Amino acid sequence: MDEREITWILKLCGRRSYEPGQTIFDQGDLGNCFYVIVYGEVIIRRGITELSRLKQGDCFGEMAILEEAPRVATAEAARETLLFSIERDILADTLPSLGFKIATHLAKELSRKLRETDVLVGG
């Protein structure tokens, strides 16, 4: 993104703070935004199984931007955490060209994560 696009996104982002152990979203919740970690740490889990730990600069919940479907895992703050949230409607309606750019990047990121998972499960 160029500087102008970053400025627009930052103006339109929600900012949400979480305390350790606080749930960001639950598996099965309908998602309408994705998150970028400004600082802190987030645990992604399914049931009691920890799938990953994410840190500053990581994004998660991105599938909600690409499709309207229930969350496939639970996200929880591992320590004091500040997140930027970016809603699907803002990207689709307010800034469609930027929304397309972000959706393309997210699709690439999801593809990378899928390849990594495939290696882990021996595919």
What is the tens place of the pLDDT at every residue in 42-98? 999 999 999 999 999 888 998 887 777 899 999 999 999 999 998 887 777 766 777
Whether pLDDT at 116 is above 70 = yes
Q: What is the DSSP letter of 29?
A: P
Instruction: Look at the pTM and tell me if it is higher than 0.75.
Output: yes
Structural tokens at position 106: 């997210």
Alpha-carbon distance of 41 to 54, in angstroms, equals: 6
Domains and CATH numbers, the chain: 14-115 (2.60.120.10)
**Rounded mean pLDDT, 1-11:** 72
Which residues lie closer than 8 Å to 71 by C-beta, 6 or more apart? 25, 26, 27, 28, 29, 30, 31, 61, 63, 64
- Contact in structure between 33 and 88 (CB atoms under 8 Å): yes
Mean pLDDT to the nearest integer, 11-24: 93
* pLDDT of 123 higher than 70: no
Q: Kindly give, in sequence order, each residue whose CB lies less than 8 Å from that of residue 83, ignoring residues fewer than 6 positions away.
A: 15, 16, 17, 18, 24, 35, 36, 37, 38, 40, 42
Q: Tokens for 56?
A: 């500053």
